[in-house]
Amino acid sequence: MMGLFNKNNDFAKKEMMRIFLAVFIVVAISLVYYFFMRNEAQKNAERRAHEALNATETMILSRLGKIETIVTTMQFMVGYSLDDPNEMDSISIKTVKSSKVILGAGVAFKEDFFPDKGKLYMTYACYDNDGDTLGVEHLRKDDEEYTKEEWFKKGIETMKGTWIDPYYDDVEGITKMISYVCAVKDKNQEPVAVIIADVSTRTIDSVVQSVHVFPNSFCTLVSQSGKMIVSPLHKVEDKSHTYTEEIDNKNMILSVTIPDREMYKELYRSSMIFALLGLFELLAIIFIVLRAARNLMQLHDMKIKEQRIESELSVARDMQQSLLPDALSPELSANVDVRGLLVPARYVGGDLYDYFVHDGNLYFCIGDVSGKGVPAALLMVEARQLFRTLAAHGPHPDRILHDINISASENNKDMMFMTMFLGVMELSSGKVRYCNAGHNPPMIIRDGHATYLDTPPCLLLGIDTNAEYEPHELTLSDGDMLFLYTDGLTEAENKQKELLGEKRALETAEGFNGKTNELIEKMQQVTSGFVGQAEQSDDLTMLAIRYTSASSSLVLKNDFNELAKVKPFIDSFIAKNNIDTSLEPQISLALDEALTNVVMYAYPKNVTGEAVVTMNVVNDEIIIEISDHGVPFNPLNYETDFNIPLEERHKGGMGIHIIKESMDTVNYDYRDNTNILTLTKKIIKIK
């Protein structure tokens, strides 16, 4: 029995040892797990804190940077007007008016800079206490020591500017303020004055107080000297972690404080679960089985939702495609051939192109919104609608882009931006006015030779409401083509991560002399062949515009033999523009009379000169312009007056009478050393 007891005792000891070992392992693993997770929680909190600080710093820099830009402009204006103290009032007022967040601005000069104004002179513009009236205050008795103030001392030392410690003022009640100061130098580069711009801390309060790394964490902003700029919204707890970030060149320190109970909240919860894991193993297995069953049901529901979303996105894609412009009607496309293509990388995309004809002008644009999918598509739709609405107000691409940019910048909560190339073509002449807002330079194909249009891009849309867009001009000749595209063409990527590139795209267009739809098909085929089986990486959009001139020109020397070229020229013009041939005799008679006068009288004897005849169709009229560089001569002053006797009439004048009888209107002008005779005739189109 003793042996059995001993054996049982040994078994018990072994079991106890196993239990003890198991408990030890569990405790050890729990402790290791606890300290590991505690360290990870700290790292995660630190990472999230610094991400939030960096993002907040960027927003603060953006808001303060706009103020600094305005003050820099004021600094330049004051420096330019140092000889006129009376100009300082106007500059201060303009500065306050230029920004809603600047509550007051002024300039304070060193002693005796303007002797006529007294020992010290300072002007300061601000609104009254009601915030309704903007006025200017000058030096008061209690201000005579402003040169000893901290803001003046710091400001006189820096041209780049600096932010000074916060203080309270009675603007709109009791308001905490921060001020930006910088020096103004005279022509000898000596600091002579300090510019000060006062801003309420409410400008950045919302930015700082919106930071919530954890539910009960809070953010503060203090000056380098420790004065509070933006106060905490919560009470500081005893146990907490604080992370700081110094804002570059702003004399400010941004900090995030996270209570320990928030930081380790998940750790405490997971540790308890881990400690009880052994006791609730069975429940855990049941829980896992039930959860797996629920997940299968959720997966089934997700499949159904995914199918519904795909169906809705398909409808959205059809709607987006329906917004694309239709082909121009024959009467609108007599001088221009326009074709476009949009192939989104997803169901819907952020590319756009649009065009329409209004008042004899072709308005066209192509754009690329940052990102892909539904958000980009929504911004695209808004931009297209603005283009259509604003373009109807006049053929000014710079003004249209300016207004689109303001709308995109002010409502840009998702920080999205957009590139756009926008142009207006005068169909009667082929002259194109255009602006480029950061978009890819289009190609121009002329006589089969393709080149990129040299157009410096302006700032992208949606970034800065104050951005300016510079207009440019070019004139397309008969048969010239503009080819516009988004970076989905040049940045098309194959499986080897190679890009199609601008060179390949240009080589594809080189030598092309066909229709616009043929060029787009060719570009699409080349892109598809290059990409191969790789997934489309970006939206692909192309727009081709080919100009066909309705005008014709003929250059003649002052030789009667040259007049034989006139009738074939007229016949060709009439056939090209589908005009009734019954007008040919009247046009020929008028041109023959006018050109005979040029040959006989425009140039001195034995001097060779030229006459240029240009015919064009504009708004149901044939416009004929005859120009020469001969002696100034207005034939309208020599028309025969049939109301006076034949013997009293002056010599000549019958020719201009014949011209006026043949044409609807006849006008003469002399400009740039050129005689210009303009004839018009109502058009008769062949049915």
Of 26-40, 73-87, 125-139, 567-581, highest mean pLDDT: 73-87
Comparing 50-64, 294-308, 483-497, the range with the smallest average pLDDT is: 294-308
Tell me the helices (H) and strands (E) count for the chain, helix number first.
Answer: 15, 26
pLDDT band with cut points at 50, 70 and 90 for residue 233: low
C-alpha torsion angle, residues 131, 135, 137, 138 (rounded to 10): 170
Q: What pLDDT shows up at residue 4? A: 43
How far apart are the C-alpha atoms of 202 and 196, rounded to whole Å?
Answer: 18
Q: What pLDDT shows up at residue 520? A: 93
Angle formed by the axes of helices 397-410 and 374-391, to 10°? 140
Q: What pLDDT shows up at residue 340? A: 93
Average pLDDT over every residue of 321-328: 76
Comparing 257-266, 288-297, 317-326, the range with the smallest average pLDDT is: 288-297
Task: Name the residue with higher pLDDT: 502 or 264.
Answer: 502
Task: Name the residue with higher pLDDT: 82 or 326.
Answer: 82
Angle formed by the axes of helices 501-509 and 516-531, to 10°? 140
Q: What pLDDT shows up at residue 1? A: 42
Task: Name the residue with higher pLDDT: 192 or 204.
Answer: 192
Share above pLDDT 90 across residues of the chain, in percent, rounded to a whole number: 21
| DSSP letter assigned to residue 540 | E
Q: What pLDDT shows up at residue 2? A: 44
Of 624, 611, 614, nearest in space to 674 by CA = 611
Q: What pLDDT shows up at residue 400? A: 93
Share above pLDDT 70 across residues of the chain, in percent, rounded to a whole number: 80
| Mean pLDDT, the chain, whole residue set | 81
CB 356 within 8 A of CB 333: no
How far apart are the C-alpha atoms of 123 and 131, rounded to whole Å?
Answer: 19
Q: What pLDDT shows up at residue 510? A: 92
The 3-state DSSP class for residue 343 equals strand
Cα atoms in the Cβ-side hemisphere of radius 13 Å centred on 131: 9
Q: Is the pLDDT of residue 423 over 90?
A: yes
Average pLDDT over every residue of 75-84: 89
CA 494 to centroid of chain Cα atoms: 29
Average pLDDT over every residue of 538-547: 91
Task: Name the residue with higher pLDDT: 555 or 18.
Answer: 555
How far apart are the C-alpha atoms of 595 and 624, rounded to whole Å?
Answer: 12
How far apart are the C-alpha atoms of 143 and 456, rounded to whole Å?
Answer: 51
CATH class of 27-266: alpha beta
Q: Is the pLDDT of residue 480 over 60?
A: yes
- At position 638, the amino acid (one-letter code) is Y
Average pLDDT over every residue of 653-657: 76
pLDDT digits (tens, 9 = 90+) for 212-222: 777 778 888 88
Task: Name the residue with higher pLDDT: 374 or 122.
Answer: 122
Name the fold adopted by 552-682. Answer: Heat Shock Protein 90 (3.30.565)
Q: Is the pLDDT of residue 288 over 80?
A: no
Secondary structure of 470-491 as H, E, C letters = CCEEEECCCCCEEEEECHHHHC
Comparing 346-355, 423-432, 506-515, the range with the smallest average pLDDT is: 346-355
- Out of 3.60.40.10, 3.40.640.10, 3.40.50.1820, 3.30.43.10, select the CATH number for domain 323-547: 3.60.40.10
pLDDT band with cut points at 50, 70 and 90 for residue 394: confident
Q: What pLDDT shows up at residue 649? A: 47
Average pLDDT over every residue of 541-554: 84
Q: What pLDDT shows up at residue 503? A: 93
Average pLDDT over every residue of 575-586: 84
CB 275 within 8 A of CB 30: yes
Q: What pLDDT shows up at residue 481? A: 94
Comparing 20-29, 154-163, 287-296, 403-412, the range with the smallest average pLDDT is: 287-296
Domain spans, the chain: 27-266, 323-547, 552-682
pLDDT digits (tens, 9 = 90+) for 5-56: 454 555 555 656 766 676 667 667 767 777 777 787 778 877 887 887 888 8
Average pLDDT over every residue of 539-553: 84
| DSSP letter assigned to residue 459 | P
pLDDT digits (tens, 9 = 90+) for 662-679: 899 999 999 889 999 999
The whole-model pTM stands at: 0.44
Task: Name the residue with higher pLDDT: 522 or 22.
Answer: 522
